[in-house]
Amino acid sequence: MSNSTALTEQVLLAFGWAKDATVRVLSGGHINDTYLVDETYVLQRINHFVFPRPGDIIDNMLGVTSFLREKLTARGGDPDRDILQIVPAADGRPVYIDDSGNYWRCTLHIGDTVTYETPDSPDMLFEAGRSFGDFQAMLGGYPAGTLHEIIKDFHNTPVRLQQLKDAVKADPKGRLAEVQAELDFAFSREERAGLLMGLLNDGRLPLRVTHNDTKMSNILFDANTKKAVCVIDLDTVMPGLTAFDFGDSIRAGASTAAEDETDLSKVNFDLELYRAYTRGFLSAAGSALTETELETLPDGAWAMTFEVGVRFLTDYLNGDVYFRIKRPRHNLDRARNQFHLALQMEQQREEMGRIVREAVGK
Ligand code: GN1
Ligand code: MG
Protein backbone atom coordinates (compact mmCIF):
# COMPACT_ATOMS: atom_id res chain seq x y z
CA MET A 1 0.00 0.00 0.00
CA SER A 2 1.47 3.35 -0.88
CA ASN A 3 0.41 6.94 -1.25
CA SER A 4 3.60 8.08 -2.95
CA THR A 5 4.05 10.28 -5.99
CA ALA A 6 6.35 8.90 -8.68
CA LEU A 7 9.38 10.84 -9.76
CA THR A 8 8.89 11.95 -13.37
CA GLU A 9 11.26 12.92 -16.14
CA GLN A 10 10.00 16.50 -15.86
CA VAL A 11 11.37 16.71 -12.32
CA LEU A 12 14.75 15.20 -13.21
CA LEU A 13 15.16 17.69 -16.02
CA ALA A 14 14.12 20.58 -13.79
CA PHE A 15 17.11 19.85 -11.59
CA GLY A 16 19.39 19.53 -14.60
CA TRP A 17 19.82 15.76 -14.34
CA ALA A 18 19.70 13.21 -17.17
CA LYS A 19 16.32 11.58 -17.73
CA ASP A 20 17.98 8.19 -17.26
CA ALA A 21 19.59 9.20 -13.96
CA THR A 22 19.93 6.39 -11.40
CA VAL A 23 17.08 6.72 -8.93
CA ARG A 24 16.63 4.80 -5.69
CA VAL A 25 13.64 5.15 -3.37
CA LEU A 26 14.50 5.86 0.27
CA SER A 27 11.49 4.62 2.18
CA GLY A 28 12.19 5.50 5.83
CA GLY A 29 9.83 8.44 6.43
CA HIS A 30 6.05 8.37 6.86
CA ILE A 31 5.28 11.66 5.14
CA ASN A 32 7.41 12.85 2.20
CA ASP A 33 8.55 10.81 -0.81
CA THR A 34 12.34 10.55 -0.87
CA TYR A 35 14.68 9.53 -3.71
CA LEU A 36 18.45 9.21 -4.00
CA VAL A 37 19.54 10.40 -7.44
CA ASP A 38 22.88 9.35 -8.95
CA GLU A 39 24.06 8.48 -5.42
CA THR A 40 24.64 12.23 -4.98
CA TYR A 41 21.35 14.03 -4.41
CA VAL A 42 18.51 13.47 -1.99
CA LEU A 43 15.33 14.62 -3.68
CA GLN A 44 12.07 14.94 -1.81
CA ARG A 45 8.50 15.66 -2.71
CA ILE A 46 7.09 17.61 0.19
CA ASN A 47 3.72 16.17 1.16
CA HIS A 48 1.45 19.19 0.89
CA PHE A 49 -1.47 17.50 2.59
CA VAL A 50 0.65 17.42 5.76
CA PHE A 51 2.57 20.63 5.00
CA PRO A 52 0.07 23.03 3.42
CA ARG A 53 2.73 25.74 2.95
CA PRO A 54 5.84 23.95 1.67
CA GLY A 55 7.45 27.32 0.88
CA ASP A 56 7.57 28.01 4.63
CA ILE A 57 9.61 24.85 5.15
CA ILE A 58 12.13 25.98 2.55
CA ASP A 59 12.38 29.45 4.16
CA ASN A 60 13.01 27.93 7.59
CA MET A 61 15.49 25.48 6.18
CA LEU A 62 17.49 28.12 4.33
CA GLY A 63 17.64 30.29 7.44
CA VAL A 64 18.56 27.51 9.84
CA THR A 65 21.14 25.81 7.61
CA SER A 66 23.00 29.03 6.84
CA PHE A 67 23.00 29.96 10.53
CA LEU A 68 24.35 26.53 11.52
CA ARG A 69 26.87 26.59 8.70
CA GLU A 70 28.42 29.74 10.16
CA LYS A 71 28.47 28.30 13.66
CA LEU A 72 30.04 25.05 12.53
CA THR A 73 32.65 26.79 10.43
CA ALA A 74 33.54 29.09 13.32
CA ARG A 75 34.22 26.14 15.60
CA GLY A 76 36.27 24.29 13.02
CA GLY A 77 33.65 21.73 11.96
CA ASP A 78 33.10 20.42 8.46
CA PRO A 79 29.94 22.22 7.32
CA ASP A 80 29.71 20.16 4.11
CA ARG A 81 29.25 17.06 6.20
CA ASP A 82 27.73 18.32 9.42
CA ILE A 83 24.76 20.19 8.01
CA LEU A 84 22.28 19.70 5.18
CA GLN A 85 22.89 21.74 2.08
CA ILE A 86 20.09 22.73 -0.28
CA VAL A 87 20.76 22.18 -3.98
CA PRO A 88 18.72 24.59 -6.10
CA ALA A 89 16.83 23.55 -9.22
CA ALA A 90 18.31 24.38 -12.64
CA ASP A 91 16.52 27.77 -12.61
CA GLY A 92 18.31 28.69 -9.38
CA ARG A 93 15.28 28.46 -7.11
CA PRO A 94 15.51 26.43 -3.91
CA VAL A 95 12.38 24.45 -4.78
CA TYR A 96 10.76 23.20 -7.99
CA ILE A 97 6.98 23.15 -8.37
CA ASP A 98 5.82 20.66 -11.02
CA ASP A 99 2.73 20.90 -13.24
CA SER A 100 0.61 19.10 -10.66
CA GLY A 101 1.58 21.53 -7.91
CA ASN A 102 4.02 19.19 -6.15
CA TYR A 103 6.95 20.81 -4.36
CA TRP A 104 10.34 19.15 -4.89
CA ARG A 105 13.46 20.08 -2.96
CA CYS A 106 16.92 18.67 -3.06
CA THR A 107 19.82 18.37 -0.63
CA LEU A 108 23.30 16.97 -1.12
CA HIS A 109 23.65 13.36 -0.10
CA ILE A 110 26.25 12.99 2.65
CA GLY A 111 28.36 9.95 1.75
CA ASP A 112 29.69 7.18 4.01
CA THR A 113 26.85 7.59 6.46
CA VAL A 114 24.13 5.27 7.73
CA THR A 115 20.84 5.65 9.59
CA TYR A 116 19.26 3.44 12.23
CA GLU A 117 15.61 2.86 13.13
CA THR A 118 16.64 1.42 16.48
CA PRO A 119 20.03 1.74 18.18
CA ASP A 120 22.43 -1.15 18.35
CA SER A 121 24.16 0.02 21.52
CA PRO A 122 23.95 2.56 24.36
CA ASP A 123 26.96 4.32 22.80
CA MET A 124 24.93 5.04 19.74
CA LEU A 125 22.18 6.58 21.87
CA PHE A 126 24.74 8.71 23.68
CA GLU A 127 25.83 9.94 20.25
CA ALA A 128 22.24 10.64 19.21
CA GLY A 129 21.69 12.61 22.42
CA ARG A 130 24.85 14.59 22.00
CA SER A 131 23.93 15.38 18.43
CA PHE A 132 20.37 16.58 19.08
CA GLY A 133 21.53 18.39 22.23
CA ASP A 134 24.20 20.16 20.22
CA PHE A 135 21.70 21.02 17.49
CA GLN A 136 19.48 22.69 20.06
CA ALA A 137 22.36 24.41 21.81
CA MET A 138 23.65 25.84 18.53
CA LEU A 139 20.21 27.17 17.67
CA GLY A 140 20.03 28.87 21.06
CA GLY A 141 20.90 32.21 19.46
CA TYR A 142 18.63 31.83 16.43
CA PRO A 143 15.99 34.56 16.02
CA ALA A 144 12.98 32.36 16.76
CA GLY A 145 10.53 35.06 15.69
CA THR A 146 11.67 34.72 12.05
CA LEU A 147 10.66 31.03 11.87
CA HIS A 148 7.35 30.05 10.33
CA GLU A 149 5.17 27.82 12.48
CA ILE A 150 5.10 24.84 10.13
CA ILE A 151 2.30 22.87 11.74
CA LYS A 152 0.25 24.63 14.36
CA ASP A 153 -0.03 22.81 17.70
CA PHE A 154 2.31 20.12 16.41
CA HIS A 155 3.27 18.89 19.88
CA ASN A 156 0.28 20.29 21.75
CA THR A 157 -0.85 17.03 23.30
CA PRO A 158 -4.27 18.29 24.53
CA VAL A 159 -5.05 19.46 20.99
CA ARG A 160 -4.01 16.01 19.70
CA LEU A 161 -6.49 14.45 22.15
CA GLN A 162 -9.16 16.79 20.87
CA GLN A 163 -8.41 15.62 17.32
CA LEU A 164 -8.88 12.06 18.54
CA LYS A 165 -12.25 13.03 20.02
CA ASP A 166 -13.26 14.55 16.69
CA ALA A 167 -12.28 11.36 14.88
CA VAL A 168 -14.28 9.28 17.37
CA LYS A 169 -17.32 11.44 16.77
CA ALA A 170 -17.03 11.21 12.99
CA ASP A 171 -15.82 7.60 12.81
CA PRO A 172 -15.77 7.81 9.00
CA LYS A 173 -14.59 4.21 8.47
CA GLY A 174 -16.67 2.53 11.17
CA ARG A 175 -13.57 1.40 13.07
CA LEU A 176 -14.65 2.50 16.53
CA ALA A 177 -15.65 -0.84 18.02
CA GLU A 178 -12.17 -2.20 17.41
CA VAL A 179 -10.32 0.45 19.38
CA GLN A 180 -12.24 0.76 22.65
CA ALA A 181 -9.33 -0.32 24.86
CA GLU A 182 -7.00 2.19 23.20
CA LEU A 183 -9.55 4.99 23.56
CA ASP A 184 -9.95 4.21 27.26
CA PHE A 185 -6.19 4.33 27.67
CA ALA A 186 -5.94 7.68 25.90
CA PHE A 187 -8.85 9.48 27.53
CA SER A 188 -7.97 8.34 31.05
CA ARG A 189 -4.72 10.30 30.73
CA GLU A 190 -6.05 13.73 29.81
CA GLU A 191 -4.68 15.42 32.89
CA ARG A 192 -1.19 14.05 32.52
CA ALA A 193 -1.29 14.99 28.84
CA GLY A 194 -1.82 18.65 29.74
CA LEU A 195 1.21 19.04 32.02
CA LEU A 196 3.78 20.53 29.62
CA MET A 197 1.38 22.88 27.85
CA GLY A 198 0.14 24.04 31.25
CA LEU A 199 3.69 24.91 32.36
CA LEU A 200 4.36 26.67 29.06
CA ASN A 201 1.20 28.73 29.34
CA ASP A 202 2.06 29.66 32.93
CA GLY A 203 5.46 30.91 31.77
CA ARG A 204 7.28 28.21 33.71
CA LEU A 205 8.84 26.56 30.65
CA PRO A 206 10.68 28.59 27.96
CA LEU A 207 10.07 28.29 24.23
CA ARG A 208 13.22 27.43 22.30
CA VAL A 209 14.04 26.59 18.71
CA THR A 210 13.57 22.85 18.49
CA HIS A 211 13.77 20.14 15.83
CA ASN A 212 10.50 18.45 16.77
CA ASP A 213 11.10 15.12 15.06
CA THR A 214 14.16 13.77 16.85
CA LYS A 215 13.91 10.11 16.07
CA MET A 216 17.07 8.03 15.68
CA SER A 217 16.59 7.76 11.94
CA ASN A 218 16.89 11.54 11.63
CA ILE A 219 20.60 11.40 12.39
CA LEU A 220 23.27 10.36 9.90
CA PHE A 221 26.02 8.32 11.54
CA ASP A 222 29.48 7.93 10.08
CA ALA A 223 29.59 4.44 8.59
CA ASN A 224 33.07 3.78 9.93
CA THR A 225 33.38 5.57 13.25
CA LYS A 226 29.66 5.32 14.22
CA LYS A 227 29.84 8.94 15.40
CA ALA A 228 26.81 11.14 14.75
CA VAL A 229 27.55 13.35 11.76
CA CYS A 230 24.48 15.33 10.78
CA VAL A 231 20.94 16.03 11.96
CA ILE A 232 18.51 15.68 9.05
CA ASP A 233 14.78 16.25 8.38
CA LEU A 234 14.54 19.93 9.21
CA ASP A 235 10.87 20.10 8.15
CA THR A 236 9.52 20.79 11.59
CA VAL A 237 12.21 23.05 13.04
CA MET A 238 10.20 25.74 14.86
CA PRO A 239 9.67 27.09 18.35
CA GLY A 240 9.02 24.33 20.87
CA LEU A 241 9.98 22.86 24.23
CA THR A 242 13.25 21.10 25.05
CA ALA A 243 11.12 18.28 26.40
CA PHE A 244 9.79 17.66 22.86
CA ASP A 245 13.23 16.98 21.40
CA PHE A 246 14.49 15.04 24.37
CA GLY A 247 11.23 13.13 24.56
CA ASP A 248 10.78 12.16 20.93
CA SER A 249 14.26 10.64 20.88
CA ILE A 250 13.57 8.59 23.98
CA ARG A 251 10.32 7.36 22.50
CA ALA A 252 12.09 6.18 19.38
CA GLY A 253 15.53 5.32 20.71
CA ALA A 254 15.06 3.81 24.15
CA SER A 255 12.57 1.21 23.01
CA THR A 256 13.85 -2.28 22.36
CA ALA A 257 11.74 -2.59 19.20
CA ALA A 258 10.57 -0.58 16.22
CA GLU A 259 7.49 1.64 16.63
CA ASP A 260 5.34 -0.78 14.61
CA GLU A 261 6.41 -4.04 16.26
CA THR A 262 3.21 -6.04 16.88
CA ASP A 263 4.65 -8.50 19.37
CA LEU A 264 4.41 -6.27 22.42
CA SER A 265 6.49 -8.63 24.53
CA LYS A 266 9.43 -7.34 22.51
CA VAL A 267 8.61 -3.69 23.13
CA ASN A 268 10.34 -2.55 26.28
CA PHE A 269 11.42 0.78 27.61
CA ASP A 270 15.13 0.31 28.28
CA LEU A 271 16.51 2.43 31.11
CA GLU A 272 20.12 1.87 30.03
CA LEU A 273 19.37 3.33 26.62
CA TYR A 274 17.48 6.15 28.31
CA ARG A 275 20.48 6.84 30.54
CA ALA A 276 22.86 6.89 27.58
CA TYR A 277 20.73 9.34 25.61
CA THR A 278 20.17 11.54 28.66
CA ARG A 279 23.90 11.79 29.28
CA GLY A 280 24.61 12.61 25.66
CA PHE A 281 21.85 15.20 25.36
CA LEU A 282 22.69 16.94 28.62
CA SER A 283 26.43 16.93 27.91
CA ALA A 284 25.66 19.24 24.98
CA ALA A 285 22.51 21.12 26.01
CA GLY A 286 22.34 20.72 29.78
CA SER A 287 24.01 23.90 30.93
CA ALA A 288 21.40 26.07 29.20
CA LEU A 289 18.41 24.32 30.73
CA THR A 290 16.32 25.65 33.60
CA GLU A 291 15.48 23.62 36.68
CA THR A 292 11.89 23.08 35.49
CA GLU A 293 13.09 21.97 32.07
CA LEU A 294 15.38 19.39 33.65
CA GLU A 295 12.61 18.22 35.96
CA THR A 296 10.16 17.72 33.13
CA LEU A 297 12.40 15.92 30.62
CA PRO A 298 10.97 12.52 31.64
CA ASP A 299 7.46 13.94 31.18
CA GLY A 300 8.49 14.93 27.66
CA ALA A 301 9.47 11.34 26.93
CA TRP A 302 6.10 10.13 28.10
CA ALA A 303 4.21 12.93 26.32
CA MET A 304 5.87 12.37 22.93
CA THR A 305 5.21 8.63 23.15
CA PHE A 306 1.62 9.03 24.24
CA GLU A 307 0.99 11.82 21.76
CA VAL A 308 2.22 9.97 18.68
CA GLY A 309 0.14 6.99 19.84
CA VAL A 310 -2.88 9.31 19.92
CA ARG A 311 -1.98 10.59 16.44
CA PHE A 312 -1.60 7.05 15.01
CA LEU A 313 -4.93 6.07 16.54
CA THR A 314 -6.62 9.20 15.19
CA ASP A 315 -5.27 8.48 11.73
CA TYR A 316 -6.48 4.90 11.94
CA LEU A 317 -10.01 6.13 12.72
CA ASN A 318 -9.79 8.72 9.94
CA GLY A 319 -8.89 6.08 7.36
CA ASP A 320 -5.06 6.38 7.25
CA VAL A 321 -4.92 9.73 5.52
CA TYR A 322 -1.84 11.20 7.25
CA PHE A 323 0.87 8.60 7.97
CA ARG A 324 1.94 6.36 5.12
CA ILE A 325 0.98 2.75 5.87
CA LYS A 326 2.45 -0.45 4.50
CA ARG A 327 -0.30 -2.82 5.62
CA PRO A 328 -3.90 -2.64 6.87
CA ARG A 329 -4.13 -1.68 10.58
CA HIS A 330 -0.55 -0.41 10.46
CA ASN A 331 -1.52 2.76 12.31
CA LEU A 332 -3.45 0.78 14.92
CA ASP A 333 -0.41 -1.45 15.47
CA ARG A 334 1.75 1.64 15.88
CA ALA A 335 -0.71 3.17 18.38
CA ARG A 336 -0.81 -0.01 20.49
CA ASN A 337 2.97 -0.19 20.47
CA GLN A 338 3.37 3.43 21.61
CA PHE A 339 0.74 3.14 24.36
CA HIS A 340 2.48 0.02 25.63
CA LEU A 341 5.73 1.98 25.82
CA ALA A 342 4.07 5.00 27.46
CA LEU A 343 2.64 2.75 30.16
CA GLN A 344 6.10 1.41 30.94
CA MET A 345 7.42 4.96 31.23
CA GLU A 346 4.65 5.80 33.71
CA GLN A 347 5.84 2.90 35.84
CA GLN A 348 9.46 4.07 35.72
CA ARG A 349 8.91 7.80 36.05
CA GLU A 350 10.84 8.12 39.30
CA GLU A 351 13.92 6.34 38.06
CA MET A 352 13.83 8.44 34.88
CA GLY A 353 13.99 11.61 37.01
CA ARG A 354 16.87 10.19 39.06
CA ILE A 355 18.84 9.53 35.87
CA VAL A 356 18.42 13.13 34.70
CA ARG A 357 19.70 14.41 38.04
CA GLU A 358 22.61 11.99 38.00
CA ALA A 359 23.56 13.19 34.49
CA VAL A 360 23.74 16.82 35.61
CA GLY A 361 25.47 15.88 38.85
CA LYS A 362 22.61 16.81 41.22
C1 GN1 B 1 6.46 11.46 11.00
O2 GN1 B 1 7.79 11.40 8.28
P3 GN1 B 1 8.65 11.30 9.45
O4 GN1 B 1 9.03 9.89 9.59
O5 GN1 B 1 9.81 12.24 9.46
C6 GN1 B 1 5.85 12.62 11.78
C7 GN1 B 1 6.44 12.67 13.19
C8 GN1 B 1 6.21 11.35 13.90
C9 GN1 B 1 6.83 10.23 13.08
C10 GN1 B 1 6.55 8.89 13.69
C11 GN1 B 1 5.44 15.95 10.05
O12 GN1 B 1 7.82 11.71 10.78
O13 GN1 B 1 5.80 13.69 13.92
O14 GN1 B 1 6.81 11.35 15.19
O15 GN1 B 1 6.30 10.24 11.73
N16 GN1 B 1 6.09 13.88 11.08
C17 GN1 B 1 5.09 14.74 10.83
O18 GN1 B 1 7.45 7.95 13.20
O19 GN1 B 1 3.94 14.56 11.21
MG1 MG C 1 9.86 14.27 9.84
pLDDT tens digits for range 198-242: 999 999 999 999 999 999 999 999 999 999 999 999 999 999 999
Q: Give residue 176's pLDDT.
A: 98
Whether the per-residue pLDDT at 334 is higher than 80: the answer is: yes
Whether residue 50 has its Cβ less than 6 Å from ligand 1: yes
Q: What is the pLDDT of residue 2?
A: 43
Task: Provide the strand spans (E) within the chain.
Answer: 23-26, 33-37, 41-46, 86-87, 96-97, 103-108, 113-114, 208-210, 219-222, 228-231, 238-240
Ligand 1 centroid from CA 62, angstroms: 21
Nearest residue (by CA) to ligand 1, atom 13, is 213
User: In the chain, where are the structural domains located?
Assistant: 9-110, 122-359
Point out which residues pair with 46 in neighbouring strands: 103
pLDDT for residue 31 is more than 60? yes
User: Given a cut of 70, is residue 3 above it in pLDDT?
Assistant: no
Closest CA to 294 of 352, 341, 214, 343: 352
Task: Indicate if the pLDDT at residue 5 is higher than 90.
Answer: no
Q: What is the CATH number of domain 9-110?
A: 3.30.200.20
**What is the rounded average pLDDT of the residues 163-172?**
98
Q: Whose CA is nearest to atom 1 of ligand 1?
A: 30
For residue 119, the model assigns a pLDDT of 87
Cα radius of gyration (the chain): 20
Q: If you measure from the C-alpha of residue 141 to the centroid of ligand 2, how many angstroms do you get, rounded to a whole number?
A: 23
pLDDT tens per residue across span 87-131: 999 999 999 999 999 999 999 999 999 999 888 899 999 999 999
Domain 122-359 fold is: Aminoglycoside 3'-phosphotransferase; Chain: A, domain 2 (3.90.1200)
Indicate the pLDDT class of residue 4, thresholds 50, 70 and 90.
Answer: low
Question: Quick one: average pLDDT of 176-183?
Answer: 98
Closest Cα to atom 4, ligand 1: which residue?
29
